[in-house]
Amino acid sequence: MSTHSTTLPISSSTRATHALAKSLRPHQWVKNALLFGGLIFSQQMFDPLAVAFSVQAFLLFSLAASSIYLFNDLNDLEEDRLHPTKKHRPLAAGQISSGAVGTTMLCLATASLVGAALINARFLTVVVLYLLMNVAYSVRLKHVVILDVMIIALGFVLRAIAGAFAVGVVASPWLVLCTLTLALVVGFGKRRNELCVLQEESSNHRSCLEGYSTHFLDLMMTISAGAAVVTYALYTMSDLTAERFGSRALVLTTPFVIYGIFRYLYLIRMKAEGGDPSRLFVKDLPILINGVLWLLACAFCVYGPTEWMPW
């Protein structure tokens, strides 16, 4: 008796669902981990209600971000079809319809706004600003040299502020400055990677790349990296920080920040990586380990007994 195996065909609806889920870019949600900064540094990490609000805020911001990714796919459809890697995105590859993407985009944006309103008005305001800013970026501002990277960086700043608002505290100016300078390093690094990968075709895929050069972007990354290190160091040593946490021990976390920035610059300059920072930060083992150690060190300095602190 002969045996043979049969495979069940995958329905077109299942393939479309998988393609739509991929278009949401769930791997990019790692950026929204910034929202937990407000929870950790407000010393509410062991407050169940605050944790619940932070998790809810993370999920709502992820929905808002995914709606923007879908908007980008619709807005950049023709350019994506000519891009060496973006042409494989589900919409550009013809795996899903524009109608399905548009409907999902509206549903996600609406859900994020309704959910944000249930947290508090300030959090809702930040989500609205995030959506409007990114729509403006997709339609026009991404074509403006320097401002395009500034908008990307401000997106990270809004995430940090939203995390503070979600747990009922006001975002520290230091949080804004540290987040902004670090995000500028990542933003300019992303542009440098695009310039190197696309080369002569760069301006055809992203018009603002015509106004950049690797030398200029290296200079911008250097300035932003230096500003990020200095800003974070000043934050850890400020009187306000010492008063809030009962010691100046947070300065001990500075080496982790310095290493993380140096490692990122190394990967950008020496390994030509960084086109997708979200994947890079979870794929690169040294950066991943360094991030975990930084979090543990911060938790010890913020929540540990002050009598053990060196200062």
In the chain, the amino acid numbered 224 is S
Give pLDDT, residue 2.
45
pLDDT tens digit sequence for 72-93: 888 887 777 777 777 878 888 8
What is the pLDDT at residue 311?
Answer: 63
Q: What pLDDT, on a 0 to 100 scale, did the predictor assign at position 89?
A: 82
Identify the pLDDT of residue 96.
86
* Amino acid residing at 256: F
pLDDT at site 289 = 95
User: What residues contact 123, with CB distance under 8 A and at least 6 apart?
Assistant: 57, 116, 162, 165, 166
* Cα distance between residue 67 and residue 277, in whole Å: 19
- 311 residues of the chain, pLDDT tens digit each: 444 444 434 567 788 888 888 889 998 899 999 999 999 999 999 999 999 999 999 999 999 999 999 998 888 877 777 777 778 788 888 888 889 899 999 999 999 999 999 999 999 999 999 999 999 999 989 889 999 999 999 999 999 999 999 999 988 899 999 999 999 999 999 899 888 877 666 555 667 888 899 999 999 999 999 999 999 999 999 998 888 888 889 999 999 999 999 999 999 988 777 667 778 888 899 999 999 999 999 999 888 876 666 66
Q: What is the pLDDT of residue 6?
A: 43
